[in-house]
Amino acid sequence: MKIVKNIMSWVLPIVVGLLVAMVIRHFVFSMVRVDGPSMEPNLENNERVAVVKTAKIKHLSVIVFNAYHVDPDARYKSVKYVKRVIGMPGDTVKAQDGKIYVNGKAISQKYISQFERTQGTGSWDLYELSNRNSWTLKTTKVPKNSYFVLGDHRSVSNDSRYWGFVPADRVLGVVKVPIWDKGSTKRHNVNSIGY
């Protein structure tokens, strides 16, 4: 009996700890790895960031979502994208000459340079290339329970300009740059932006 009690004294805390970790990971937050350059300069390829599942999504939040059945090119059920929310449900979004208008008002894009604001390639129904250095987004209304998202590195980002809106039920959470990334301006550009 003493042996069983002794074993349980160290097994039980391990099991409880694992259960608590699983609950936190499933309901509160998890870590993800950024894959690709679409969020540069604020998030870099292979950077690890926290995804807070309970955080409220607002304008200019950076979110992680499951892109399977959102982007037609996302062929795997586990593929996740990291993008910035530009339009919330019910908003009208328009872009012209490097400026983005939400509900008729130009939004601040201080998180990227002027060059990054005006670059873009490709075409989709909502998107038309107006010239080599700027893109134009026809005014569009974001449907209920959906988001319009863009990558910060517009010239390489595969985002709502191409495949449309992100359904709210595909969003996994809001990105927060870990505290160990203190020296970077990324903490401000990802964690604190709003308008």
Give catalytic residue positions. Answer: 38, 83
Alpha-carbon distance values, 109 to 101, 141, 143, 146 (Å): 11, 20, 23, 21
Q: What is the dihedral of CA 91, 57, 189, 155, to 10 degrees?
A: -50
CB 14, CB 134: distance < 8 Å: no
CA distances from 90 to 14, 77, 93, 103 (A): 47, 28, 10, 9
- 128 forms beta bridges with 136
Q: Are 43 and 157 in contact (CB under 8 A)?
A: no
Tell me the C-alpha to C-alpha distance, in Å, between residue 102 and each of 9, 51, 106, 117, 166. Answer: 58, 25, 6, 15, 17
